[in-house]
Amino acid sequence: MKKLILTLIAALGIVTGAQAAEGGIAWDKAPNRTNDLASLQHGAKLFVNYCLNCHSAAFMRYNRLQDIGLTEQQIKDNLLFTTDKVGETMKANIEPRQAKDWFGGVPPDLTLVARSRAGHGGTGADYLYTYLRTFYRDDTKATGWNNLAFPSVAMPNVLWELQGDRRPVYDKVEQHGHETEVIKGWEQVSPGTLTPLQFDQAIGDLVNYMQWMAEPAQDTRIRVGVWVLLFLTLALVFVWRLNAAYWKEVK
């Protein structure tokens, strides 16, 4: 029964996390820099080093990273660590059987996660930005970690060396006649290799890349859409004047 519950948690993946966040802590606004090549390149590096060990991005090919300014040789030298080819999709290095034994299920594919996890709390990027920054130590959990945006998450904090150990600090407030605890901040227990500001910026880059990965053509789509609307506006003026000239004699 316990194994079945763990499997269901892993299968639901970040969907349950999004629902938990919507009913719990407020989502922080993620920076939107999908046209910042330096940010995207740094985010791609973080994704390959920290996410791709367990999660796949089965709808993204390595050579598509040329769209964010990387050359094929840079991709081969810096982002391919196994026998993968530059034209192949981003597949996780973990064996599915091992993933089931460790987490109760195979970690979800992340190609479209930044688009699919939106809710009334914000965008999918907002959820990821909040989720990846709210891990804390919890010895009662199997992984030793817990998360404010996704309570009792099966995923450990893979970025803990960068962030260090933190614990949430709560404040007691009275709501509807009852005393409840709300988080008011964090206390740094032990430092990481990055300062809190640097870590937030790194997570912003990672989420930025995941947002771009979910729709690589989004900036082109927006740019083309603006030109189409401008063309239609201009065409409307010509059509309006042509219509007036055509019916002038009739009137």
Residue 3 pLDDT > 80, yes or no?
no
pLDDT tens for 237-250 read: 989 888 888 887 77
The residue ranking higher by pLDDT, 9 or 140, is: 140
* pLDDT over 70 percentage in the chain: 90
Q: The pTM is what?
A: 0.78
Where does the pLDDT of residue 24 fall: very low under 50, low under 70, confident under 90, or very high at 90 and above? low
Q: Where are the domains of the chain?
A: 2-162+194-216, 219-251
pLDDT tens for 218-243 read: 888 888 999 999 999 999 998 988 88
| Alpha-carbon gap, residue 116 to 123, rounded angstroms | 9
Amino acid code (one letter) for 157: N
How many C-beta neighbours within 10 Å does residue 239 have? 11
The residue ranking higher by pLDDT, 105 or 212, is: 212
CATH code that applies to domain 2-162+194-216:
1.10.760.10
* pLDDT over 90 percentage in the chain: 51
What ranges in the chain are assigned the alpha helix state H?
2-12, 14-23, 37-46, 72-78, 96-103, 113-116, 124-131, 160-163, 196-214, 218-246
